[in-house]
Structure 1
Amino acid sequence: MTESSSAARPVPTALLWDMDGTIVDTEPYWMRAQEELVSSFGGTWSHEAAMTLVGSGLDRTARILQEHGVEMESQPIIELLSTRVMEQISERMPWRPGALELLTEAHDAGIPMALVTMSIGRMAQHVADHIPFPAFSTVVSADVVTMSKPHPEAYLTAAERLGIDIARAVAIEDSPTGVASAVASGATVVGVEHLLTLAGTDAHVVWPTLAGRGLAEVSAVLEGVHA
């Protein structure tokens, strides 16, 4: 590709980021917090059970934990799990490969970004505060939407807050649930596989990692979708 054609490539109107498993590898932290809570009530929690919750909203997580013997209301479960994960993040920030680099490049290029997560707001802000610059123009978390992913509400809310055309935005997701949400919103979707396969999803491209992927590669995906 010539330098002039590369320069003409359209850039996204915004990058819309999932958080858990996409920017940070917090899934092991959630699993540990879930196991601790179930065990405290004398129950048994398995890795297989935890995997069924990857990408799910916290309301569903609370319901499943209640089914495994946690005798607490949903909101206290959500608050307790979130606090435990935040404590672990404070001990070690588990960046996913290439995520901070792409966040930095997009920020330096002036591309608006939103954090779109089914974690609660204080948890999302805790992660955002560990990024060494103000990465996100807005944070859409579980406590500001009515419908969790895979419903598109969270991504549509992010686009509305940013004032952008979501059809020209790129969402980055790691789970089938998240991919379904972003696709339904009309965004171009980059799937980055982590704990779950994205084969068979409607992601416009699936990458094994963000390492070595920059704005040029993200823009090429958008260009391909709208060619």
Structure 2
Amino acid sequence: MQSQIRPHAVLWDFDGTVADTEPLWIDSQIETMASYGVTSRHEDLARLCGVSADVSIRAHFASYEAQHGEPPPMTGRALWEQITAGVIRRLNSQPLPWRPGARELLMGLHDRRIPMALVSASPRAMIDAALAKMPAGVFDIVIAGDEMPRSKPAPDSYLLAAERLGASAADCIVVEDSIYGTEAGRAAGAAVIAVPSIQELDEYPGQLLTPTLAGISVDDLNRIWHQVKGI
């Protein structure tokens, strides 16, 4: 029966899921903090992938105070705008670094007219720069991190995306690469496809852990939803 076909919509994370942009964020953060005399470690910043701007800012402020022995001279907003500008500059200087299989699955879903949302913890300015490099009209709605009072791992953004698409989150698939993002998808009640990029991910009920989206077709998603949901 048609009512048994899932997913009703697919909700995508962006950084590390659609495109391999996590390294751009890490490089921009290293560059930005270096301009304030702060040395940042790649492995520490990798653990921040998928977190909100507020969490990242607090981590950078703590690093500044630890290395300088005094509070930072900049505001959190100014720091995050500088980091975001660095990411946008890097994005604009190269083709979009698609993650394996992401473009093919996105376009297959688009061709089949399955509703899709882009749900990111990144700010709108960065997301708009990325969307300019993607086929127009792929996503029905876009929710950016600076548009939500609570970011991932709270489920709010995924619940809102499903609602705006006229679906229940329980009938959706969330595609994510980060610890916080997969947690948000599970908390929303969606079936989660977890595709690690920078961070290692663990197995959890409610999600399928796979090394890549390459080879996953639109027709596979109904099977994956039922497999994850145990239905």
1:56 and 2:51 correspond: yes
Alignment of 1:1-227 (within 5 A): 10-69=5-64, 70-92=72-94, 93-224=96-227, 225-227=229-231
Distance 2:164 2:77 in 1: 26
For structure 2, the 5+ residue unaligned runs are 65-71
Is the alpha carbon distance of 1:158 and 1:33 closer, same or farther for their aligned partners in structure 2, counting shifts above 3 Å? Answer: same
Size of the aligned set, in residue pairs, is 222
1:54–1:175 CA contact under 8 A, matched in 2: yes
| Deviation string, structure 1 residues 22-73 (Cα, Å, up to 9, x no partner) | 0011111111111111111111100121112111111111111112225321
Q: Which residue of 1 aligns with 2:69?
A: none
Distance 1:153 1:191 in 2: 19
Aligned to 2:68: none
Separation of aligned partners in 1, 2:54 and 2:90 = 21
Whether the 8 Å CA contact 1:173–1:190 is kept in 2: the answer is: yes
> Offset at 1:223?
2.1
- Given that 1:180 and 1:202 are in contact with CA atoms closer than 8 Å, whether structure 2 keeps it comes out as no
How big is the shift at 1:215?
1.0
Cα pair 1:38 1:68 within 8 Å, conserved: no
| TM-score with structure 1 setting the length | 0.92
> Unaligned 5+ residue runs, structure 1?
none
Task: Give the Å deviation of 1:166.
Answer: 1.3
Pairwise CA distance, 1:203: 4.8
- SS of the residue corresponding to residue 77 of structure 1 reads helix
Q: 1:11 to 1:200 in 2, by over 3 A?
A: closer
Cα 1:175–1:27 shift into 2, 3 Å: same
TM-score by length of 2: 0.91
Within 2, Cα distance between the matches of 1:129 and 1:103? 16
Runs of 4+ aligned structure 1 residues displaced above 3 Å come to: 200-203
Separation in structure 2 between the aligned mates of residue 8 and residue 163 of structure 1, nearest angstrom: 14
Q: Report the Cα distance in structure 2 between the residues aligned to 1:203 and 1:209, rounded to whole angstroms.
A: 18
Contact 1:10 1:223 survives alignment (8 Å) = no
What is the identity, as a one-letter code, of the residue corresponding to 1:133?
A
Deviation at 1:8, TM superposition (A): 9.8
Q: How far off its partner does 1:121 sit?
A: 1.1
Identical-residue share of aligned pairs (%): 35
Change (3 A) 1:226 1:200: closer
